[in-house]
Structure formats: structure tokens, C-alpha cells
A and B are shown apart, each in its own frame.
Chain A
Amino acid sequence: MSDTTLSRIRFRSATDERLWVKVVLIAIAVFGIVILVFAPLIVVFAEALARGWQAALNALGTRDAQSAIRLTLLIAAISVPLTAVFGIAAAWFITKFDFRGKAFLITLIDLPFSISPVVAGLCFVLAFGANTAVGGWLVAHGFPIVFALPGIVMATMFVTFPFVARELIPVMVEQGRAEEEAALTLGASGWRVFFTVTLPNIRWALLYGVLLCNARAMGEFGAVAVVSGKIRGQTATMPITIEMMYNEYLSVAAFSLAAVLTALALLTLLLKTLLELRFADQLAATRRH
């Protein structure tokens, strides 16, 4: 071994790459993210503002855009709390009790992640469509599910179903049952134990799960495209309206609505990052274990 290589070895930590290797790897990573993530992000805003602020704002003020925004907010307002209630109940049931078939139950809860949103929408059409027994009866009694609000809410819940439960289960497993048991011994009622002992322990994880659930609920496209019937002004959510406008060559209008959803996505990421920085220890073990 010559002297020059010896000196180089001496100054480089054994668990480090050479500087040029690092620089190349970082450059590839940055280049990839710029091309794949930042470029589409910038394009959304650039296309929305292609004819200036006024054109973008006018596009957001049209009747179609307004009803789409209202519908999307309404769907999130119904589906996200329901999914959160399910997540809390499922996490409580799974982590506070021992029963056979627990792994199977968790698999069933995770099932929606491995099913195409389009297939999910198809399932609802086949289960509750007007030509099925259940669906026909419901339509006859003035409560249609498919091509109406309830179907969109249910399809949205399907695709977001595991989010909250998945976030809560690892946190509650890690925290165990000792604190709840102590509170029970001291005579607290079930609800009191939940609100004063469990909830404070899981609140940030719950918020984290709700945040991700909400982002997906407001942006869901495939499942909603199938169950909504895309009725303008009635069942067209924001993503569906974006598609309609885009297909009608209303580029500024489509990208203006898209920019609103993108801003929401960025806000979600910001809050998510803040939660991870501030409360990493109280979030699901998934991220750090």
C-alpha cells in the first residue's frame, strides 16, 4: 500500500462514503425529486395563473366550482369523523382485549389499501346500485346510495378506512394497559378512563391519522368517479370537476381548482412535518422503528 492511500484511509471514517460518492448520490436524489415532485407542483400554480390572478379567481367563483368545493367539504366533514370513530373503536378493541383472530381482523382493516379505488367504487355499485335488491328498495324509499351523496361518502370511507386505525394501534400497543387499569382501580368510569387517560396519550397520533385521512378524502378520484355518476352540480366533487373542466379544455379553471387542492396538500405536509418534529415520540412507532 502506498503512502498516499494510507493517508487517505486515515482521514476518512470507516463508515463513510468518499466525498465524491456522497455528492453524486445527493445530486441524483435532488435531481429526481425536483423532476418528479417539484416540477408538477410548480406547473399546477403556473397553469392556474397563466392568465393572471383575476382569471383564476373568476374560475373558482363559477357555479360548478363553488358547488364542487361545497360538496368536497361536506364529504370530508361526514366521512373523516366517521373514519376516526371507527379507528378509535378498532384500536381500542384490538389493543385492550385479547381474542382469537386478531391478526385476521387487522388484515381485513388493511384490505382497502390493496384494492384499486376503481374496484372499490365498483363494489359499491354492485352492492347498492339501483338494479340490486337492496339498492332498488332504498331508491324506492327515496334514499339512493349510488350516484348520490351516501355512496360517495361510503366510497371515500372505504379508501381511507385504515388510516386512523393503523396510526393508533402501534401507539396504543406501545403504551400498554397499565394506566387505564390504574384509573379503573381508582373507580373511574369507562368513558372517564378514555377521555382523561387514553385520549391525551393518543391525541397527536389521532390528529396525524385524521390529517392523512382528510387529505385522501378530499382528493379521492377513482372510487368517487365510479360511484358518483359525475352529475354536474350534484355529485361532482372537486377532483371530478377538475377532470370535467380539463376535458372541456378549460385549462385555467381546472388548474385553479387543482391549485386549491395542492395548497391543501402542502398544508397537510407542513402540519405532518411539524407533528413529526415536535411529537415524534408520541406518533406511531411505524415511522421510527
Chain B
Amino acid sequence: MASTPRKPLIQRSPMPGLGLSMGITIAMLSIVVLIPIGALLTRGALFGPENMWGVINRDRVWAALYLSFRLSFLAAVFNLVFGVLLAWVLARYRFPGRRLLDAAVDLPFALPTAVAGIALTALYAPNGLFGQYARDIGLALTGTGWKIAYTQWGIFIALVFVGLPFVTRTVQPVIEEVEREVEEASATLGASRLYTLRRVIWPTLAPAALTGFALALARAVGEYGSVIFIAGNIPMRTEIAPLLIVIQLEEFNYDGAAAIGIAMLVISFVALLAINLIHIWSRRRIGNV
């Protein structure tokens, strides 16, 4: 793709099917994605910024937005650490069951979220397998049984589950491509293994890890199916932002739903923009790797 200074809108090409492929692409993109999103933004514009602020600036909405973004961030941080570890283990070590482990990482992509939701709830409910342990351990240590499901911990676990594959899948191919010679050179120059990992390997992984982190964060913020079963959905405490939209819709308050939907979009895009800026900044600092 040579880029000449002033190229025409569409360059002439002997390839067939320009009209057909462009027509299908633009028509379907418009009907399925652009018109619906446009409808949301139009509804918001007609409702007016002041009215939208009136909907959003309520304790219950702030609580839900804060909960959604805070827990999504924490879950993405957990996935960042665990995902890099998992990618390292899968890419570098050979042990029995590695392929099974590798395939299992993708299950959260393939498993429907509602199924994940009821399965996690069954596990972490007070009478569930893990929920029972939590209750007993809590009773033994503090005198009160710990609860996981129907608390913020339950939401956190569901968000960790749905975000699990992102960091691993973006970082793993990069680890496989790291040249051993670089590590050997570092070791020959007297660096300890930990120093090599920190100063030689991590900088090459960091951009991919950050991309995975951003994807996991975006996914977690919008997640609905796996969370609503385990969350308990108590207003002000375990109510996530997408659920508020559903509640507004059930009350046929379309303006209110649009206002919260637009607020979520804006916050997500600001967060992703911030991550992209960190990306650019870290590339400039470390060099383009």
C-alpha cells in the first residue's frame, strides 16, 4: 500500500467487485451498527444535556457507574497479572496437560455469559461448593461467615472470568517471539534473571499486556449476563450500570436509559483513550519494540 501525497478517494484498481463489496460493507455496517448507535445519540441530543445530567446525577446512578468501573478496573488488573503469568507458563514451560490448560483459557470466550453466571453463582452461593468454604473460613477466623455471591466479591469474580483470556492471548504470541539470544546477552553481561525479566523482557511485553488490559476492561464494564446472577442487584451496593439501563427500559423510560447508555459510552471511550495515550507514551519511552 504505497501512500502517495494526494491520493484519490478510491484508487483505480483492476480488481473486480469494488461496487459489490463496498455496497455490502457500507449497507450492512449502516443498518447493523451506525443507524442504531446514531439513534442512541440522537435520542440523547433531543433529550438535552441538562436533562441527561439530571438522570445521571443521582446517587443510585453514580453508585452503579462507580461500582462498574471500579470493579472492572480491579478485575482487569488481576487479569493483567494472572494473564501475563499464564502466558509465560504456557509459552515457556513444557509440562503434562499444557495443551488442555491452553485450550481452557479460551472457555470464557466460548461459554455463554448466562451459563457462566448461573454456574459461578452455584459455586459461590452460601450453600455452594466454594461459598461453603468461605462461610466456614470466615466463621473460624472472624466469627461471621464470609459471603462471596451477592456481594461485590461475586461481581469481581464474574468480571475476572469474562476477562480472563484477553491478556493471555495478546501476550502469549509476543513471548513466543522473544529471541533467546537477547536474554542470553543480558545474562552474559551479568544481569540476574529477575533483572533480565524486568528490564529486557517486560518492556517488549508491556504494549501487548496493556492492549489485553484495555480489552479486558472494556469487556468487563459492559458485561451483563454473567454478573446479574451473582451480584444480588441491591441498589447502591451491588447494582451495575448495565442493569440500570435494563431497569429504565422495563419502566419504559427510554430517555433515562439513553442518558445512562451515553454516559457509559463516554466513560468507556475516555478510559480507552487514556490507555492509548499511555501506550503511545510508553512506546516513546521504551522505543518502538
Q: Contact residues of A with B, CB < 8 Å?
A: 14-15, 17-18, 22, 25-26, 28-30, 32-33, 35-41, 43-44, 47, 82, 85-86, 89-90, 92-94, 96-100, 105, 108-109, 111-120, 122-129, 131-132, 154, 157-158, 161, 177, 180-181, 184, 189-190, 193-194, 212, 215, 218-222, 225-226, 238-240, 242-243, 246, 254-255, 258, 261-262, 265-266, 268-270, 272-273, 286-289
Interface presence of B146 (CB below 8 A) = no
Q: Knowing that A222-B223, A269-B110 touch, tell me 8 more A-B residue pairs with CB under 8 angstroms.
A: A40-B120, A41-B119, A43-B122, A86-B32, A100-B9, A119-B40, A189-B16, A269-B107
Prevailing SS type, chain A contact patch: helix
The distance in angstroms between the C-alpha atoms of A21 and B164, with both chains bound, is 23
Is A89 in contact with B85, judged by CB distance below 8 angstroms? no
Q: Tell me which residues across on chain B come within 8 A of A131, comparing CB atoms.
A: 254
Q: How many residues of B contact A (CB 8 A)?
A: 98
Expressed in whole angstroms, the Cα–Cα distance for A61 and B179 within the complex equals: 56
Contact at A132–B39, with CB atoms within 8 Å?
yes
A30 near B193 with CB under 8 A, answer no
Query: Is chain B's binding surface mostly helix, strand, loop or mixed?
Result: helix
Q: Which residue of B lies closest to A165 (CB)?
A: B25
Inter-chain residue pair count (beta carbon < 8 A): 291
Near A by CB (< 8 A), chain B positions 224-273 give 224-225, 229, 242, 245-246, 249, 254, 257-258, 261, 264-265, 268-269, 272
Interface contact A100-B107, CB-CB below 8 Å: no
**Can you list 28 pairs linking A and B with CB atoms under 8 Å apart?**
A17-B193, A18-B193, A25-B88, A28-B85, A32-B86, A35-B130, A39-B130, A86-B24, A92-B21, A100-B10, A114-B269, A116-B224, A118-B222, A122-B261, A154-B32, A184-B15, A189-B16, A222-B225, A226-B249, A238-B112, A242-B114, A242-B115, A254-B118, A255-B118, A265-B107, A269-B103, A269-B110, A289-B173
Nearest CB of chain A from residue B82's CB, rounded to whole Å: 6
Q: Which residues of A contact B130 (CB under 8 A)?
A: 35, 39
> Which of A82, A98, A131, A261 counts the most B-chain CB atoms under 10 A from its CB?
A98
CB-contacts of B169-210 with A (<8 A): 169, 173, 176-177, 180, 183-184, 187-188, 193
Interface contact A239-B17, CB-CB below 8 Å: no
> A115 — which chain B residues lie within 8 A by C-beta?
37, 222, 265, 268
